[in-house]
Copies of this chain bind each other. A is one copy, B any other.
């Protein structure tokens, strides 16, 4: 079950990174959480920690953009609401102890491994493009769609951080409501 071990490690790393940051996540913790053998790390990830983190980025990047693409919506505000809802569920499921993996990697990227930033940027871009698509499909103009997509991503990344710090969902509620307002207003202008 080679793939199983590898996948488990990646998933576990993603979860830990979102809760403790990249530098706060050690191999030992990943092994313990995922119940995987220490001897396998450098077999599965010859590139070491950076490679593991890169896989976690890729995993979350594709999961989320897939999810965006599968969103069914007739109106722009439904796109905003669905996107926000996905993150909200994640944050609540982890007891307000998580931020987005992308934020965690971005923050820790200055120390070493600046090479991970492009991977994060790629994930952000894929989310933004998928969101922009969804917005324009529900009637927004191209430039409104792209701008709203960018704002949606940024605002929710930030909401997760503020919510984690304050241990409160209020920032989330505020952002979600305002994103819906923006989307609706943009839709009405058409």
Residue ranges of A at the interface with B (Cβ–Cβ < 8 Å): 19-25, 97, 99, 102-104, 106-112, 117, 120-121, 124-125, 146-148, 150-151, 153-159, 161-162, 164-167, 170-171, 174-175, 177-178, 181-182, 185
Cβ-defined contact, B147 with A174, below 8 A: yes
Q: How many copies does the complex hold?
A: 2
Tell me, in angstroms, the Cα distance from A162 to B170 when the chains sit together: 22
* A155 contact from B22, B108, B154, Cβ within 8 A: B154
- Determine chain A's interface SS by DSSP, over half rule: helix
Cβ-defined contact, B110 with A20, below 8 A: yes
Which of A24, A164, A165, A181 lies at the interface centre, i.e. has the most chain B CB atoms within 10 A of its CB? A165
Cβ-defined contact, B151 with A175, below 8 A: yes
Q: Which residues of B contact A21 (CB under 8 A)?
A: 21-23, 107-108, 110-111
Least Cβ distance of A147 to chain B in Å?
5
Least Cβ distance of A29 to chain B in Å?
9
Instruction: Tell me whether A103 and B107 are in contact in the complex, defined as CB-CB below 8 angstroms, given that A154-B161, A165-B124, A175-B154 are known contacts.
Output: yes
